[in-house]
Amino acid sequence: MSGKPLKDPLDLLDIASVLTDEEREIQATVARFLADRVRPHIGEWFENAHFARELAPELGKLGVLGMHLEGYGCAGTNAVSYGLACLELEAADSGFRSFVSVQGSLSMFSIWKWGSEEQKQEWLPRLAAGEAIGCFGLTEPDFGSNPSGMRTRAVRDGDDWILNGSKMWITNGGIADVATVWAQTEDGVRGFLVPRGTPGFTTQDIKQKMSLRASITSELYFDNVRLPDSARLPHAQGLRGPLSCLNEARFGILFGAVGAGRDSLQAAIEYADSRVQFDKPISAFQLTQKKLADMTVSLGGAALLAVHLGRLKDQHRIRPEQISVGKLNNVREAIAIARECRTILGANGVSLEYSPLRHANNLESVLTYEGTGEMHTLVVGQAITGQAAFR
Amino acid sequence: MNIVVLVKQVPDSGAERTLSTDDHTLDREDADLVLDEINERAAEEALRLKESVDAEVTVVSMGPDSALEAIRKVLAMGADRGIHVCDDRLHGADVLTTAKVLAAAVRRVGDIDLVLAGNATTDGQASAVPAVVADLLGLPQVTHARELTVDAGRVRAERQTENGEATLDAPLPALVSVTEKINDPRYPSFKGIMAAKKKPVDTVDLDDLFPDADDAGFLVARTRVVEAVPRPPRAAGIRITDDGSAGRQLVEHLIARKLV
């Protein structure tokens, strides 16, 4: 006897039962928007390395940008809703989720958390509406996991600051209207808001990427950029400033990865059900079932972990090392799922017609950015042993 | 201006739909239930009017508990309040009963200027409820509208059917049913979704709507589905190999079936 395959592998554990109506409604709205506006084109955008900037105001209208922030035109949802939106965005494409993460959790959050009232009024409503785009410059060519060694430097010149240096691997960099830039100063790391067009500030997009092709990644250069003191984020001092933003973004990623895994698995289940070899669908063969079952188990665990961490965040008691557990596990599981799903699709799996290899390629970036798997492993290691092993 | 939108929760038209074996009514257990897509456009039209004139939009739906989700969806899109007619005795209600109940619910809103509905729902497709509601309320009925303007106490609509197009005009209050061509509905915003929880929804049953009615006498289902059979699987087609005579064979095939 044959039955129907499960459309959504997360239904096996009825993950939706631990969500509120409002959370489900927000998730469904994002999914529907993406089904209408992104999914029909995403393969082509990935192939042509095209970021659909025109969707930013539409995402703004929905309330996606900076959705978990309060005030200044932001929707003010809870953290779980923000996570579920990231899950759906990344189920469409990690590049889209990256755009939203950087806009909301790095650019907007840095201004919302560390900015002056004037800076918030100037930038947050436009960023929330998607009328302006933001980016976040911390990583440098020679300083990734160890940002404390950054060479970008800001020095006082009268009432102004002079900024010199460069930033690398900056999502949204080439299209950003405002960059949050972190630099060494006499009294530690400080953040600055650098608007596009400021003399001495230039960008160059990074070409020939094999990952996150539907999103823009750039280098930022600062050559004697003169900034007024009002460009400085007044409330951030030291690495705590940028690291607090990264924790926000990592939270979105640990949900997003579940989306990429789910979409890969849905594609594989559907394909296995329709692909007939030796007179039966390949979903009826034990080796395929073992793959599908193992992936469904690991995906369900990742989803439950994400929701659990979301609940902790909504209770304002989440700790950075807990986010590390989520980012480490969920991205690791998602990339394993995406790669395994590709094998179920056989030769068809290498075509952009199907999502798993696109997700796997995207997740190569997600595995590395916002703290490499290695760094998060050592953060967890330190949390359970008390020994810091990353220096 | 007081606008009422009539909406129905239906099984997702993109998914497989089944009828219950007992009484041939819709099996809601396994269905993905959604706000009917043509009704959603009626709601969108109401909200666009609300943006151009000062209007209050009330969404009315008849259906089981789950129909509240359809009402909340329209509230999330921007409607102001809802009326949910929920009564087990309405299970299997036909067109006439449905229209009587909806008309009674509209009367509860009070002085209304415009009733908006979809010209059909994607499940029943009887396409008669809006006309019957208009008749029961004594309103002019403007059906199958693909374009709508309200100005100076009148409603004007471009009516489009298989038989042609016409421009209709009626004084308010009136009932207008819209086709799926009228607009592209908005996505509810997150702020709208969160605000919808706090908007008032009046849940009523038949006793509220018809306090003086004789219970047994009211609920006459004048129509009943006596039999339903699944569509038979499609038979294999005829394969014609083109050896130069394919065109002739095709024409002969069509003539034999009186299709040309």
Nearest CA in chain B to A67: B190
Is a pLDDT exceeding 80 seen at residue A2?
no
Model confidence at A144, pLDDT cuts 50, 70, 90, reads very high
Q: Find residues 195-234 of chain B whose CB sits inside 8 Å of chain A.
A: 197
What is the distance between the alpha carbons of residues A259 and B248, in angstroms, rounded to a whole number? Answer: 54
What one-character DSSP code corresponds to residue A208?
A: S
pLDDT at B29 exceeding the cut of 70: no
From chain A, the residues in CB contact with B190 under 8 A are: 26, 29, 62-64, 67, 75, 77, 81
Judged by DSSP in three states, A161 sits in strand
* DSSP per-residue codes, chain B: -EEEEEE-EEE-TTS---B-TTTS-B--SSS-EEE-HHHHHHHHHHHHHHHHS--EEEEEEESSTTHHHHHHHHHHHT--EEEEE--GGGTT--HHHHHHHHHHHHHHH-S-SEEEEESS-TTT----HHHHHHHHHT--EEEEEEEEEEETTEEEEEEEETTEEEEEEEESSEEEEE-TTS--PPPPPHHHHHHHTTS-EEEE-HHHH-TT--HHHH-----------PPPPPPP------SS-HHHHHHHHHHHTT--
Residues of B in contact with A61 (CB under 8 A): 187, 189
The mean pLDDT value for B137-164 works out to: 92
Residue type, A348: N
Name the β-bridge partners of A181.
A137, A192
Structure token digits, residue A197: 């067009």
Test B189 with A33 for CB contact under 8 angstroms.
Answer: no
**Confidence check: pLDDT of A380 > 60:** yes
Instruction: Look at residue B147 and tell me whether its pLDDT is greater than 90.
Output: yes
Per-residue model confidence (pLDDT) at position A1: 43
> Cβ neighbours of residue A144 under 8 Å, at least 6 residues apart?
A169, A372
CB B9 within 8 A of CB B61: yes
Q: A41 burial class (0-12, 13-18, 19+ CB within 10 angstroms)?
A: middle
pLDDT tens digit sequence for A56-72: 999 999 999 999 999 99
Q: How confident is the model at residue B243 (pLDDT cuts 50, 70, 90)?
A: confident
The domain spans of chain A are: 9-129, 134-231, 240-385
pLDDT at B28 over 70: no
Tell me which DSSP letter residue A371 carries.
S
A22 → closest Cβ in B187, B189, B194? B194
Mean pLDDT of A193-217: 97
| Nearest chain A Cα distance for residue B239, angstroms | 23
Asked whether the beta carbons of residue A22 and residue B197 sit closer than 8 angstroms, the reply is yes
> Do residue B190 and residue A32 have CB atoms under 8 angstroms apart?
no
Predicted confidence at residue B216, as pLDDT, reads: 52
Residue among B115, B143, B114 at smallest CA distance from B127:
B143
Rounded mean pLDDT of B44-61? 94
Residues A342, A351: Cα–Cα separation, whole Å:
10
Residues 62-121 of A with CB under 8 A from B: 62-64, 67, 75-77, 81
The mean pLDDT of B160-183, rounded to a whole number, is 92
Q: Is A32 on the interface with B (CB under 8 A)?
A: yes
Is pLDDT above 60 for A31? yes
CATH fold label, A134-231: Butyryl-CoA Dehydrogenase, subunit A; domain 2 (2.40.110)
Domains of chain B from N-terminus onward: 2-218 (3.40.50.620)
Confidence category of residue A258, pLDDT binned at 50, 70, 90: very high
Tell me how far apart the alpha carbons of residues B257 and B260 are, in angstroms, rounded to a whole number.
Answer: 8
Query: What does the block give as tokens for A226?
Result: 């003169």
Where is pLDDT greater, at B93 or A239? A239
- Reported as a single tens digit per residue, the pLDDT across A277-295 is 999 999 999 999 999 999 9
Could you say which architecture CATH assigns to the domain A240-385?
A: Up-down Bundle (1.20)
Q: Which of A6, A19, A29 to mutate to test the interface with B (most CBs of B within 10 A)?
A: A29
B34 interaction partners in chain A (CB closer than 8 Å) = none
Cα-based distances in Å from B80 to B6, B17, B63, B214: 14, 32, 20, 33
Contact A26 B190 (CB under 8 A): yes
**Chain B partners within 8 Å of A26 (Cβ):** 190, 193
Interface A–B counts its CB contacts (< 8 A) at: 37
CA of residue A283 relative to chain centroid, distance? 32
Whole-angstrom Cα distance, residue A162 to residue A156?
Answer: 6
Q: How far off is chain A from B209, nearest CA to CA, in Å?
A: 29
Residue A97 amino acid letter: R
Residue A83 CB partners (closer than 8 Å, separation 6+): A251, A252, A254, A255, A306, A307, A310
Residue with tokens 């042993």: A385
- Provide the ipTM: 0.90
* Mean pLDDT value across residues A363-382: 96
Q: Which CATH class is domain A9-129?
A: mainly alpha
Question: Quick check: helix, strand or coil at residue A352?
Answer: coil
Distance, CA of A61 to chain centre: 20
Query: In DSSP terms, which residues pair with B117 in a beta bridge?
Result: B177
Q: pLDDT per residue over A163-202, tens digit each?
A: 999 999 999 999 999 999 999 999 999 999 999 999 999 9
Cβ(A95)–Cβ(A362) below 8 Å: yes
User: Between A387 and B20, where is the model more confident?
Assistant: A387
Selecting among A90, A122, A219, A370, the annotated active-site residue is: A370
pLDDT (mean) for A313-323: 97
Cβ atoms of A21 and A273 closer than 8 Å: no
Considering only alpha carbons, which residue of chain A is nearest residue B184? A36
